[in-house]
A and B are shown apart, each in its own frame.
Chain A
Amino acid sequence: MEIKKKVDVIVVGGGIAGVSAAIRAHNNGLKVFLACKGLVGKSGASPFAGILGGYRPPGGYASPQYDWFNMLVRQKTHWLGDQDYMKSLAEYTSSQYLQDLEDIGVYIRRKTNGSLLTNIGPSLITIAPKWGLSSMVVMEYLKSEMIKRRIDFTEETYVTSVLTRDGQVAGAILLNILTGEIYSVQAKAVFMATGLANRLCKRSTGTREQTANGIAMAYRLGIPVQGLEMQWFHTNDIARPKCWQRLHMFPNQIPGTAEVGWLRNSDGEVFFTQNQFPNCIPPYFMQCRQLIKEVYKGKARKDGGYYQDYRHVEPDVLEEHAYQLYPLKKLGINPTKQLIELGMSWHMTFGGIRTNNKLETEIKGLYAIGGVSGTYCPGINAAIHDSIYIERLGVFEDIKTSNLLNPVRADIDKEERQLLKLLRTEPRQGLLPERIKVKIRQIMWDYMSYNKNETGMVKALEELNEVKNRFVPQMRLDSNTRLYNWDWVDAIDIEDMLIACEISIEQSRFRKESRGPHYREDYPFVDNENWIVNVVAKKINGDMKVYKEPITLKYAFPEEPMKEDILSCLW
């Protein structure tokens, strides 16, 4: 297998984080090669954020920063985030972020008088161009900035492993999905920017190709992974059709208004509105709590039986601004007159690859950028901020002065063999990998979809083990063609999915409390006395070890009661 290129940095992932990092690395004089498993700007979580901005500073958006830092510490990361990192992110978000978007060409929607179209209420929400399409536009312009600079990038190319030598990055192995060609690229550094919306559950918001490859690659290299128990669930995704399960009925205030959608249970009772819980910004965790109470009462299910209600909102406003209501018309639903049935879905994972304060892992030259890192506060702002942050900390200079190492030939050969071993059509009684993925996602839906408990999680591990030992060894493809063989991609994905699922479950078991998006029926209390810690999983001598890593609170400290029932939390 040939080494096709020699570069300074390989960026793995073509979303907001990866493309921003590629641009900034290039601007700093580094030779960059970006490989995206799907399509740049059209897959991953990046195209789907519907709104931009955050919180209205007092007196309007021109005044000094709103307390972004405290919001991130308390309501986004639930005390687990690194406070120095969050200080940087808060500073960026409240000063430069929206301007950076506008500079590259993202048109933030104006009113007819020329001022920004925002909502009316405690938080500043802007959109570009429609509520529901904002980050698709961000990605359009980021991608074009990459094209402008003639940065080398490829799509539908699967990075399957990072090559190292003596604890340092040497390159990566890539599979061209269109042609089936396997090749390697030599590099001094790898930016893992594979994102965080992984399709590990029956209902998931991730796009087709998102299967936790970045997390699994890091884990296999012996890098610790933290916080996968902090798994964010959406409540407001449409119940059907199946392939629209990431279509989100936003709970936030509608542009130009203080109006929000209301959640109603199967008896028609309203059980959540954003305006009911003004301190819960972002509202998503509160929504989950409110929903699960309805599920317990039998007035909703996790995959249906509850509804978003926009009937009280001005039809003109909905028509003008709400992109996601346009697909509803396709289903014959009129949101100004009818309710929209919803289901929960596995959304973004707040945790991820554990790094130092420079976003570098234990492998020199291997960085985790954006949502795949274990910072607990992902978002468009964080994805863009991360490359500015590492620039400030001298990461690009570090890469310039490091050496380009030769990958270990045996590693390359081993990876190629393992990939080719999966390109098999025997035994005939084996299952197509896609069918095994269905099993994995069903297990995660049954036991790991928001309301977790020890019995269920142990069962989940047993069933996943059965998948691993009984079905995976017999797994076979329909065809061993190399041409766009997505079944082969599925087969390669499965090991990564099993790793991410196992880490998620073991970390959820380990954290004997509830916190933010992590809810345990058997430990429903938030325990700030004992559990403001990172829960870490690491491969040691071939086994998964789960342990705590301490968190040092530096600037902000919890004032809430030290033990609080999460279902009663009002924040």
Chain B
Amino acid sequence: MTFQNSRERILEAVLKNQPELQAVPDISMFRGSHENAVQKYLDVFKSIGGAVFLVDGISSARTLIREQFDITKRIVTTLPFLNDIAEVISPDIDPHTYEDAELAVIKAHFAVAENGAAWFTEEVMGQRIIPYICQHIAVIVDAESIVPTLHEAYEKIGTGDYGFGAFIGGPSKTADIEQALVLGAHGPLTMTVFIIQ
């Protein structure tokens, strides 16, 4: 249902009431420093309740995944190099079928040093629901892809086309009951990042 008159009425009222035009400010001076970006990322991500490993290659990441997680349970991924322990996510099946995924392993486009978040679009998630519905999430990040702040992050994203994209910075959490921090609200209970140097 659409209230056609409402659209016209609202737009008319906005035009009538909006104040004199103020210019959009320049924000190009906001830039972070690339110096120690990896170390900063490590520190921040640990402080928000995440686990992080600095590794020399994807084979080390695979070894750690085998050690850190119960690989007898359902593990899903978009990364072919894990096909011996994980099933490859299909973008076309019903998202509800991933309800029992214990671990999802996906690769981020890049990560942000200042806040510990990593950027994903639905292509690298496999399906939109994957990083939320799994009990644990593991993420691969290339060290050289780490940017200092969100300003460089949005520069990198540009107007790039995607249907869905997200910054994810840690395991899901809540402090709604008496401000007591609890990791694992509705999304993953843990988030582990492997930074590939």
Is the pairing of A and B real?
no
List residues of B whose CB falls within 8 A of some A CB: none
